[in-house]
Structure 1
Amino acid sequence: MEVRELLEQTNKLPNVPDVVKELIQQLNNPGAKYDEIAEKVAKDQTLSLKILRLVNSAHFGLARKVSSIDEAVIMLGMARLKTMVIASGVVGSVKSVEGLDLKQFWSEAFFVATAARFFAEKSEKVDADMAFTVGLIHNIGRLLLHISKPKLAQAIQTRVDETGCSRSDAEMERLNFVTPQAGQALLDMWSFPAELGEAVLQHKKPTEFEDPSALAAVVNLACVINAARRNETDIAELRDFFPQDVAEIAGLSSNILSELGEALELESGLEGLND
């Protein structure tokens, strides 16, 4: 099987709003006119309503109710709003997927995105917004597989569950490629910045690449934290197996070990997008 077979089923592919694609493409442009983006967001009723509901949730604890995207920009700042627009648009691009718990899938993606930003903010090598975005979409290839080939995706999951083999090994056995490759191909098709696709491709094992991506490294560390949370790993054990070689690629010092407890306690504040 080849990756292109997943991408050829255009009627099944996620449909990300244009305003989200524009924001992602402009992440590396500090001079981007985000007020124009905010205006476009305001014209997308579904996106606007979902963001406003989240902004007005208890998590943000605003002093008064926000009733427009313009107000949201003032109350939250454009950077924070941008995060919510991207998250809301990506999550809303898929309504239901056979054999995949979407609520759990996006909940973990929100956490990985938040943890990736946490690590990026402590590195001089990685942009925090880029880290958040890659964290959010790091598993988009797996989602694509479930959308395009649900029975094959389930067979791979069964193989992992029954044998304990790695997902990558199970995917290579059944697909002859791994889903991060599919994720990169999908992002390329959407004309996202190449740096995002490269990070998605590398995020599982950045040390195995000749030119490892610091962006991929912070997402890999975020996935380590997410797995530790899921498995209820205690902080001492987490510090023992935390990949220092990956942390070095990410531009983090050994002092990061003292901050892993804080990373475990992170909250995305984006759960409302899952409803």
Structure 2
Amino acid sequence: MTERSQYAGNLDKVLDSIRQLPSLPGLVVELLENFGDENVNIATLANKIAHDQALVARLMRVANSPFYGVSGQIGSISEAIAMLGFTNVRGLVLTAGLINVFTGMEKYFDWRAFWRHNVAAAVCAKLLAGGTGLNPDAAFTAGLLHDIGKLVMWSCFPHDVARLGELSEESGLSPLQLERETFGFDHTLLGSEVAKRWNFPVDIQHAIALHHTHYLPGGGKTMADVIYTANLLAETLQDDEVCEARQLQVNGVAWSRLKLDGERLAKLTAQARRQFQSTMPLLSD
């Protein structure tokens, strides 16, 4: 068993002590605040996006990827919006902006694997939300950020967190259990508290907190339902061969929570896989 952290059981102390956690760029904050606003000034946001060269570089790689069939033809944010639509560009910008915030942590953990999973969850969440009446943009954001607590843990306690994988194999305990033993809380609670301090919408805070919580009978179609299911489904997008047990688990959860039949879930999975692959240029250096 791990030694208990000096912060164990005191989440507020952890949050107050986080000095190295980056602040969100103003553009990312603005996108988070405005994704539900149908009257957002696209030209103004496009101009702000254009002034962040690191972000633009990632976005242009995606916009000019073969997936969109316009390789080499998009040279500006305005052209990207015209070709891809503002909703798609906004999601890509949010993703690229958050990736840029947390660059430089490669020595601590596999950040590409982290973002591959979270981008996959975001894509799945957006598609799942489309059939529930929930805001697809908000679902994309919640999927993208559902593991933000892990980033905070890696940023603040890299050596403690690095040991958890080995300890999980040795002890048979889940990573969540070991996080609680080590820190007195897990990444879902930490992530939801960070989201609260960053002023994310309440439904996104709840989805982050509950993305590992098992289905409760009688629950409605909430953002938390979507993100829980998207988190499972995302794992299947990244495997060349999905094990039968995992696929059955995804099917059962999706049917119970979101009442998806097998045909629709299969179509959604195929569509999500294509969209997921189209976003991978975001993770290029």
Q: Is the 8 A contact 2:142 2:208 kept in 1?
A: yes
Q: Which residue of 1 aligns with 2:111?
A: 102
1:91 maps to amino acid: I
Q: Which residue of 2 aligns with 1:81?
A: 89
1:5 and 1:22 map into 2 onto residues whose CA distance is 28
Alignment equivalent of 1:154, drawn from 151, 158, 162:
162
Alignment equivalent of 2:31, drawn from 17, 20, 23:
23
Q: Is the 8 A contact 1:12 1:147 kept in 2?
A: yes
With over 3 angstroms needed to count, the CA separation of the structure-2 counterparts of 1:172 and 1:108, relative to structure 1, is same
2:32 and 2:217 map into 1 onto residues whose CA distance is 25
Q: Is the 8 A contact 2:117 2:235 kept in 1?
A: no
1:233 maps to amino acid: V
Alignment of 1:128-207 (within 5 A): 128-205=136-213, 207=215
Q: Does 1:12 align with 2:20?
A: yes
Question: SS where residue 8 of structure 1 aligns?
Answer: helix
With over 3 angstroms needed to count, the CA separation of the structure-2 counterparts of 1:239 and 1:161, relative to structure 1, is closer
Give structure 1 stretches of 5+ with no counterpart: none
Q: Is the 8 A contact 2:147 2:188 kept in 1?
A: yes
Q: Does 1:253 align with 2:259?
A: yes
2:57 maps to amino acid: L
CA RMSD in angstroms, aligned pairs only: 2.5
Alignment equivalent of 1:272, drawn from 253, 263, 281:
281
Q: Shift of the alpha carbon at 1:244?
A: 4.3
1:88 and 1:170 map into 2 onto residues whose CA distance is 31
1:105 and 1:33 map into 2 onto residues whose CA distance is 32
Q: Which residue of 1 aligns with 2:55?
A: 47
Q: Count how many residue pairs are aligned between Structure 1 and Structure 2.
A: 270
Alignment equivalent of 1:223, drawn from 223, 231, 244:
231
Alignment of 1:35-74 (within 5 A): 35-62=43-70, 65-74=73-82
Question: SS where residue 108 of structure 1 aligns?
Answer: helix
With over 3 angstroms needed to count, the CA separation of the structure-2 counterparts of 1:14 and 1:272, relative to structure 1, is farther
1:111 and 1:185 map into 2 onto residues whose CA distance is 23
Q: Is the 8 A contact 1:113 1:136 kept in 2?
A: yes
1:4 and 1:93 map into 2 onto residues whose CA distance is 23
Q: Is the 8 A contact 2:142 2:207 kept in 1?
A: yes
Task: Out of 88-97 and 205-214, give the one that drifted further.
Answer: 205-214
Give TM-score scaled by structure 2 length.
Answer: 0.85
1:143 and 1:193 map into 2 onto residues whose CA distance is 19
1:8 and 1:211 map into 2 onto residues whose CA distance is 34
Q: Shift of the alpha carbon at 1:259?
A: 3.1
1:179-233, CA deviations, whole angstroms, 9 ceiling, x for partnerless residues? 1111111112212212211110111115359977711111111121233455633
Q: Shift of the alpha carbon at 1:261?
A: 3.1
Give TM-score scaled by structure 1 length.
Answer: 0.88
1:113 maps to amino acid: A
Question: SS where residue 270 of structure 1 aligns?
Answer: helix
2:146 maps to amino acid: H
2:221 and 2:155 map into 1 onto residues whose CA distance is 28
Q: Which residue of 1 aligns with 2:132?
A: 123
